[in-house]
Amino acid sequence: AFSADVVPQAPEDPLFGLMAAYRKDTSPDKVDLGIGAYRDNNAKPWVLPVVKQADELLRKDPDLNHEYLPIAGLADFTSASQKLILGKSSPAIADKRVVSLQTISGTGAVHLGALFLSKFYNPSNPEAKAIYASTPTWANHNQIITNVHLPMKNYPYFSKETKGLAFDGMMEALSSAPDGSVILLHACAHNPTGVDPTQDQWKQIAQIMRRKNQFPFFDCAYQGFASGSLETDAWAINHFIEQGFELMIAQSYAKNFGLYGERAGCFHFVAAPSPNAQDEISRVGSQLAILQRSEISNPPAYGARIASLVLNDDALFAQWEEDLRTMSGRIIEMRKALKSKLDEMETPGTWNHITDQIGMFSFTGLNEQQVQKLREKFHIYMTKNGRISMAGLNTKNVEYFAKAVDSVVR
Ligand code: PLP
């Protein structure tokens, strides 16, 4: 029944293939710039000191067991997650206009949101059923959205010329998208480009979307990781809420807690201010719970327990903020080091974007041939679109990488 014309061989996940090739490479000089996870200055995974502390506390708890969590997840975790992303004094929280479910990290939150839209989003304009995502976007967006049978469309985002935001193109696309369309936005530290709108640009994006009654779906996978400040990184979302939007948020704790494999995340639906908002929240929440029950039954406990301990304790929270600054600070140092080495060698091209872009990734502007050469000649591994993970650079390999780049662009 499952012949090749029914189930053809799927192409290998490009990132997975890259990691396998890196592992096989025996050169002592090899550099992994593909990985989407933080590495310390010794190129090793880093367990955040605050996560170690929370883990010890958790293990000492004599009442800890392995029972199921509720369908919507750990309540202390979801309520702390609301406060983290919307701010402690958020009017949306005070008005009880938010419903939140714990999810299988950010991926699960994007999926739950997309599934909810595919089932329930019926804009008055049937043309507005597609989800608009940036070009480029996180590769998994496309798969998640098409899996729930929603059409996906795109808006321009990255300018190849400036290696910055294609702001005019983005605004044009939003104004010509049908009224009521769903617009998928990266809250901060855009993956894969590392390019974010300025606050002024976000204001203009919100204005146009408000005029067109469009529906924002924020994917927030790097809060605190971009600028080092949790508030700054959530600014765009809160600006949209202040403007009265109804919106959805997918929140991941993979990167900012280093809890990648533990799959801690949260999905939030925020209703617009209205006398019926609480009724709407109750109805939406009840349907989300049914979707969650059929998809995963209930979410995994360990990562949410760790994050919840930290989010609900002032001293641990302060330690977490310090850990976030350690990670974002090291990445910023690596951006500066790379840029200054390229400047020193007068490497052809402009390299300002290396320090202008933020977050874990940088779109270098290197083309596919140059990426190939870096891999074959220098054992440097990155995705073929020229994206590098800044976390793969450290004080020991940044000069080697800069020299290799210099050699392939000349
Ligand atoms: N969204 C974006 C833009 C991402 O870059 C990622 C991770 O790379 C995710 C969501 C989800 O990651 P996770 O499911 O590990 O939280």
d(CA 13, CA 400): 28
> Quick one: what percent of the chain has pLDDT higher than 70?
100
Is 356 among the catalytic positions?
Answer: no
335-356 tens-digit pLDDT: 999 999 999 999 999 999 999 9
- Which stretch of DSSP H or E encloses residue 104? strand 98-104
Q: Would the pLDDT of 106 be above 90? A: yes
Residues in the chain: 410
Tokens 């958020």, residue located: 90
Position 227 scores a pLDDT of: 86
| Ligand 1 centroid – CA 221 distance (Å) | 5
Tell me: pLDDT of 260 over 80.
yes
Tell me: pLDDT of 79 over 90.
Answer: yes
Which are the contacts of 29, defined by CB distance < 8 A and separation ≥ 6? 378, 379, 397, 400
- pLDDT confidence tier of residue 127, bands split at 50, 70 and 90: confident
Mention every residue, 6+ apart, whose C-beta is less than 8 A from residue 235. 188, 199, 202
* Alpha-carbon gap, residue 374 to 379, rounded angstroms: 6
Q: What is the pLDDT of residue 11?
A: 86
* Structure tokens, 396: 């020991």
Active site residue 46: no
Q: What is the pLDDT of residue 12?
A: 83
Token reading at 93: 């929280």
Listed in sequence order, the DSSP H helices in 212-313 are 230-233, 235-242, 277-295, 302-311
- Asked if pLDDT for residue 123 goes beyond 80, the answer is no
Q: How confident is the model at residue 283 (pLDDT cuts 50, 70, 90)?
A: very high
Average pLDDT over the chain, rounded to whole? 96
List, chain by chain if needed, residues with CB within 6 Å of any ligand 1 atom.
36, 105-107, 138, 186, 191, 219, 221, 252, 254, 260, 265
β-pair partners for 216? 183
Per-residue confidence band for 36, with pLDDT thresholds at 50, 70 and 90: confident
Cα(171) to centroid(ligand 1), Å? 25
Q: Which atom of ligand 1 is nearest to the CA of 108?
A: 14
What are the residues facing 133 on neighbouring strands? 154
What separation in angstroms does the CA of 107 have from each of 142, 170, 292?
A: 12, 25, 13
What's residue 339's pLDDT?
A: 97
229-254 pLDDT, tens per residue? 999 999 999 999 999 999 999 999 99
Q: Hey, whose CA ends up nearest to atom 5 of ligand 1?
A: 191
CB 222 within 8 A of CB 230: no
